Chains A and B, each alone.
Chain A
């Protein structure tokens, strides 16, 4: 992971202009993904997962959101310093692609699936070089017949890779004519078709039946591994994260709190919030416990560690300063003034 970091988000701060004031939704978030790695970004609804994903893609709502601090390094270049045209033409869809949460409404209802695939290939085909993509003008947006034919072949191959039967028939259909699971397979196919290095999958299975979720996740994992594509996978469900992720990062109210390899994460949770999350999993000892209290508002959030109003271990330090990163070895890191592991240590010593 060290020499081969694909994405490094450092100290990212994002706020939204709301009627009640400025909502500080991301408060100094850090995250890294290595090439070909699947990182699960886990947190309760509203903790800022989508905001983080959209920051990386550069598609935060322009007039409402502001990135106030931080860097987003993708393959060494700071995306926050790049202009919108470059991001749209060269990065998005080509090097970073996207799998949305709701595969139904993310297709235009009034164009056939095939039309939308070919639109993607017209602009984002892997045959287009970065230089061509960057220089895109109205004149250069011709879609020659030869390239169109080769792109159509790519589409057919990809559709069978995502295990869709009768690809020709599907391409002629409209989005409302195929099932939810098929639509998400189509979305995954679109994301992979452009041969990206990173896929951002924002809760890709939340809108699906439980039975289909597992199939789709397995497919995504297999295809990503085959092609050495990294995946930033957001979810509020630890179970799905466990199934497909190499590493898991937990966010609470716009702050990253703990990151670890999947096995380590479940074996040695070190942040009080992570611990609570794991304890609240159905099937875990103690059953469904829930966490007392609510996620704080973002307009005037608690200072220091945002979890402190709900944390049993909170001290004065927690209320004033945000804890730094404590490395626990083998890529496990936690941001807490009183991480659980060290507490065990202390108890053992005394």
Chain B
């Protein structure tokens, strides 16, 4: 019952947020630039050329009408035409989504698998030498520019040591697309050489993206564990002689994680932000790379498409996380 309320609340909030996001991007494209057309076709185009392009792009209509057109287009999944490739932006984006998702999911997995134990250990041994060392490590993760880290990794591991591929998703063409996720596709066709190659290409981008995400997870886990560890139930369970590792890794950790699961949204934000530059450095053919290509080609339709697309995904993820939180926290739903 309570779960239903959460669900309805979240969905009701979703609609105005997405609408607001679209209004903001519309404002950015249609109100801020003095002359968006000049930006596209150059300043010495003839007035006739400008007028023709304006008409083609619908820029001669009143703003409100433009907004309605923009909005209905977006709602149909139509992000407009790329000014550079001249293809529908939604097609370009959807073709690149699997690469980004694959990278993000593997990264998230690595970051969680490393971050949670480190956070717990750091909290349990609070103020020890180990804790201080781990904290320096994590604080650094939040201060490093990820494009720089990516370049350092490339420089060291690929260029000097030659251990990992320099960039790209795979050598050659990769597996025939079935799902678009190369790991999955390589497994389906049973090509383990290909799988190895795909994984080798993922090492550096994943490590680059995982570091700041992990640092965030460590911080939240550590804080959550520290809070939970001073709860009465820990005292009670120690008094009853429960094994220490059960108290910490089962009871304390579960409490700590339920409290911090809402922060997953933040971590996704970090991943999205970093994917833009990390995909650029590693030439990873995902949507972040697409955004940068659009920037380089002054294709602001493409940039806006990217902004709306990632924005909507991010909003959806946050809504899902809230619902998930309701599902796993018995106090929320029962």
Contacts and interface: CB of A to CB of B under 8 A. Distances in A.
The answer to whether any beta carbons of A and B sit under 8 Å apart in the complex is yes
Nearest to B234: A108
B255 A87 contact: no
Interface string A106-147: 111111100000011001100000000000100001000000
B331 A98 contact: no
A120 B331 contact: no
B140 interface: no
State which size class the interface on B falls in. Answer: 20 to 34
A92 B330 contact: no
Contacts of A102: 232
Given A106-B232, A108-B233, A57 B254 contact: no
B244 A111 contact: no
Given A100-B232, A100-B235, A174-B330, A136 B240 contact: no
Name the residue in A89, A106, A200 with the highest tally of chain B Cβ atoms < 10 Å from its Cβ. A106
16 contacts: A57-B239, A88-B244, A93-B242, A105-B231, A105-B233, A106-B233, A106-B236, A107-B233, A109-B255, A109-B331, A111-B251, A111-B254, A123-B246, A141-B243, A174-B334, A176-B331
Nearest to A191: B240
| Residue of B233, B238, B241, B255 ringed by the most chain A CB atoms within 10 A | B241
Nearest to B243: A123
Q: Could you say which of B244, B246, B330 has the most chain A C-beta atoms within 10 Å of its C-beta?
A: B330
Interface of A is mostly: mixed
B129 to A, nearest CB: 15
Interface of A: 54, 57, 59, 87-89, 91-94, 97-98, 100, 102, 105-112, 119-120, 123-124, 136, 141, 174, 176-177, 190, 200
Contact of A93 (B235, B240, B330): B240
B102 interface: no
B258 interface: yes
A102 B330 CA distance: 20
A227 B38 CA distance: 92
Nearest to B254: A110
Contacts of A59: 235, 238-239
A98 B237 CA distance: 9
B329 interface: yes
A87 B243 CA distance: 11
A155 to B, nearest CB: 15
Please name the 7 residue pairs, one residue from A and one from B, whose CB atoms are nearest each other, closest first.
Answer: A92-B241, A93-B241, A105-B232, A93-B240, A98-B239, A106-B236, A174-B330
Interface string B313-334: 0000000000000000111001
Interface string B224-263: 0000000111011111111110100001001100100000
A177 B334 contact: yes
A91 B238 CA distance: 11
Contacts of B258: 110
Contacts of B331: 109-110, 174, 176
Contacts of A91: 241
Contacts of A123: 241-243, 246
A177 B330 CA distance: 10
Contacts of B246: 119, 123
Contacts of B334: 174, 176-177
